[in-house]
Amino acid sequence: MTQDGTGTRVTCLPMAAPAIVVVIPAHNEASRLPAVLRELGEHTGDLVRATVVVDDGSRDDTAEVARKAGAVVTRHALNLGKGSALLTGCELALRLGAGIIVTMDADGQHRPADLPALVAPLIAGDADVVLGARRFGDQMPALFRFGNRLLSGCLRAFYGLEVADSQSGYRALTASAFKAVRWSSRGYAVESEMLVHMARARLRCVEVPIPAIYHERYKGTQPLDGLMIVGQLVRWRLS
Amino acid sequence: MLYGVQVLAAAFALVMAYQTYIHLRRGDLNGSTALLWELVWAGLLLVSVLPEPFQRFVGAFHVARLLDLVAIAALLLLAAITYRLHVAVRRLDGRLEKLVRQLALDRAGSGPEPVDDPQP
């Protein structure tokens, strides 16, 4: 790791480093997405081979702004949900030759500056999956904190999985790990299902601390989604 | 002498029979499906207008009134239809998702879509 001109820590890749492709599922994020893509370019430089934006049936100009920002864009003609958009993006990333796939949100919740730290354990060969773990401070709304802890507790109880932040969407995984955790969830259960498959496949997982940033309380996983995910965890455990 | 509830049930059966005929003419239902539904509405009409011949079933099924028997039969029919609809919608949902994702992967990076957004 070295410091670049802006003080950001940048990972120096070995010559044969796997290609990194960032996957961003986006739904009506035309206003926030350009800043995310701009920051991604500024903070990662040559580290990232391509950024894939999956416009999940947006009604605004999400696809257009992403295209203008230089991302590889694809579009769902209908809104299918985060899980489906991520799956399409990851499959496209594999077609682009990705050795490492990084998933992040389109609304600026995840700092591109943290990406080098996120992929470092994969590049070093120390992990198959890296989770960006948010700090459960005042930045995270109390209800989200409770829900996250509940779901993490379920994962621990049902699968023996010890993760601090089971619902973080900022993740990095190797191409082979993606094939092992390939999910069927269409909505917000995708993060949990990924972990379930990860536990079953006995993949190595590392957590990297990231800050919790919330712009919009009413987007993302809501209490009812959380309850549905608990139900799904029980169903997967029994299946 | 018809009671109010009998008139209501008969009117409902007639309206639904007409609706079924309309949907058959529009091609929304095929002949056999329309016939099945017309038999259901004809049965309801018959039980509503001429309940006496069906009174013997009341004792056989151990229910207090003929209306209770019709209500129970209707609930069972509803449950069966709901189940069938649930399976059909899930199947359709899966096919739609597969199609949308396949189109997205095939068109990836090929520029703006030529069709308008189908959503309102």
**Partner residue facing A54 (CB), from B104, B118, B119:** B104
Give the chain B residue whose CA is nearest to the CA of A77. B100
Residues from chain B that touch A95, judged by Cβ atoms under 8 A, are 105, 108
Whether pLDDT at B114 is above 60: no
Residue B105 at interface with chain A, using a CB cutoff of 8 Å:
yes
Residue A27 at interface with chain B, using a CB cutoff of 8 Å:
no
- Radius of gyration over every alpha carbon of chain A, rounded to an integer in angstroms: 17
Determine the Cα angle at A99 with ends A197 and A135, to 5°.
60
Contact B109 A72 (CB under 8 A): yes
A180 Cβ contact partners less than 8 Å away, ≥ 6 residues apart = A128, A197, A198, A201, A203
pLDDT at A3: 43
Query: A33-44 vs A115-123: helix axis angle to the nearest 10?
Result: 50
The structure tokens listed for B42 are 């004809």
**Partner residue facing B100 (CB), from A52, A59, A77:** A77
How far is CA B67 from each of CA A29, B23, B78, rounded to the nearest angstrom? 56, 28, 16
Å between B68 CA and nearest CA of chain A: 37
- Cα A164 off chain centre by: 15
Å between B85 CA and nearest CA of chain A: 20
Query: Considering only CA atoms, which of A32, A2, A11, A36 is closest in space to residue A22?
Result: A36
**Partner residue facing A76 (CB), from B100, B111, B112:** B100
- pLDDT, one tens digit per residue, over B39-48 is 999 999 999 8
**Partner residue facing A74 (CB), from B96, B97, B105:** B105
SS3 content of chain A, % helix, strand, coil (to 5): 40, 20, 40
Bridge partners of A132? Answer: A208
**What's the complex ipTM?**
0.76
- pLDDT, one tens digit per residue, over A43-97 is 888 889 999 999 999 999 999 999 999 999 999 999 999 999 999 999 999 999 9
* pLDDT lower than 70: segments of chain A: 1-16, 138-139, 215-220
